């Protein structure tokens, strides 16, 4: 697996485990750990996004474009689990096709209802 950051295992909070099933698309609540890191990877420059879920599991995503996400804030995303790997002996889940659905300040405030459910709960618009 390629190098995806400069942190040491001691610098990573908690213990990490792999998340989801490779190839499956799912919704996750993750916190963006740092500003996306710009990487020159051959002919394809990309941004590295590093996330952590509520259980301390480490997730990463390489994107060809910079996506507006806020550091330290929990984002509800939809993503495909690309592969399970290890970085500096810490389990890490690599994501692809990430789409940000919403964000909140912490893990307890994310509204897990679908858009349609939230729209129905809001009632008719004026």
Local confidence band at 43 (pLDDT 50, 70, 90 cut-offs): confident
Q: Model confidence over 54-101: pLDDT tens digits?
A: 999 999 999 998 888 889 989 999 999 999 999 999 999 999 999 999
| Mean pLDDT, the chain, integer | 81
**What residue spans define the domains of the chain?**
9-122
Alpha carbons 99 and 30: distance in angstroms, whole number: 12
Local confidence band at 9 (pLDDT 50, 70, 90 cut-offs): very low
Check residue 121 and give its pLDDT. Answer: 66
List Cα–Cα distances, 96 to 14, 15, 47, 99, in angstroms. 24, 23, 12, 9
Alpha carbons 84 and 69: distance in angstroms, whole number: 23
Local confidence band at 122 (pLDDT 50, 70, 90 cut-offs): low
Check residue 114 and give its pLDDT. Answer: 61
In contact, 78 and 22? CB cutoff 8 Å: no
Alpha carbons 95 and 84: distance in angstroms, whole number: 9
**Which overall architecture, per CATH, does domain 9-122 show?**
Beta Barrel (2.40)
Check residue 61 and give its pLDDT. Answer: 97
């Amino acid at each position: 697996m390629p190098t995806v950051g400069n942190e040491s295992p001691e610098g990573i909070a908690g213990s990490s485990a792999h998340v989801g099933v490779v190839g499956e698309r799912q919704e996750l609540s993750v916190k963006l750990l740092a500003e996306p890191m710009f990487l020159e990877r051959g002919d394809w420059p990309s941004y590295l996004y590093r996330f952590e879920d509520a259980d301390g599991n480490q997730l990463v995503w390489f994107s060809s474009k910079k996506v507006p996400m806020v550091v330290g804030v929990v984002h509800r995303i939809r993503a495909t689990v690309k592969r399970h790997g290890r970085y500096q002996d810490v389990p890490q889940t690599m994501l692809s096709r990430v789409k940000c659905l919403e964000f909140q300040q912490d893990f307890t405030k994310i509204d897990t209802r679908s858009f349609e459910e939230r729209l129905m709960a809001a009632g008719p618009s004026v």
